Structure 1
Amino acid sequence: MGYYTSLYSSELPHRAVAVYMYLRDRCDKDGKCYPAIGTIARELKLSRSTVKRALADLEKNGRIRKEQRWRENGGKSSNMFYLAQRNSN
């Protein structure tokens, strides 16, 4: 079975599936990435609100965990996303 089989058979909306695939494509070998919401929205041709809803869906489903990152001057930076490690068999 392919890696995405459980994703396709889940009850996640299509927006969440698209965002998950985007994140997975950009993650390092440890399953971490930090694209900005605006970047995700622009590259997937979705609104920022839709991306935010998709990320909330993925968090609720346990597929990702997000953590706020901060700049040295105390300002917010893009979130760090951690993809849940799933068995690919």
Structure 2
Amino acid sequence: MGYFTSIYAEDLPHRAKTVYMYLRDRADRDGRCYPAIGTIAKELKLSRSTVKRAIADLEKTGHLFKEQRWRENGGKSSLLYTLKL
């Protein structure tokens, strides 16, 4: 089980577990990744709203930290997700 032992033990909805596994698969060794919500939704065949709810579930339980990234011109860039490893 390794990577997912703690996530399996949590009382989380399946959507949150699925999104966590997706993000974990794409994270670097520090647990950081930045896929777009639309990309996550498309690849997992979930709605964007379901992905947003899953991310909120993971933030609430401390499995994920979300940070807005910004472009040099002040515009929004992608979100940076940092997973608790």
TM-score by length of 2: 0.93
What is aligned with 1:16? 16
Higher strand share: 2
Q: Percent identity?
A: 74
How many correspondences in the alignment?
A: 85
Within a 5 Å distance, the mapping from 1:24-39 to structure 2 comes to: 24-39=24-39
Flag structure 1 segments of 5+ consecutive residues without an equivalent: none
Render the CA deviation track for 1:5-51: whole Å, top value 9, x for unaligned: 22112110000000000000000111110001011011101011000
Give the helix-richer structure, 1 or 2. 2
Q: Give the corresponding residue for 2:4.
A: 4
Alpha-carbon distance in 2 for matches of 1:62, 1:75: 28
Structure 2 runs not aligned, ≥5 long: none
User: Counterpart in 2 of 1:45?
Assistant: 45
- One-letter amino acid of the structure 2 residue matched with residue 32 of structure 1: R
Structure 1 ranges of 4+ moved more than 2 A: none
After superposition, the CA RMSD in angstroms is: 1.1
Alpha-carbon distance in structure 2 between the residues aligned to 1:73 and 1:43:
30
> Corresponding residue for 1:62?
62
CA distance, structure 1, for counterparts of residue 19 and residue 8 of structure 2: 13
- Amino acid in structure 2 at the alignment position of 1:33: C
TM-score, with structure 1 as normaliser = 0.90
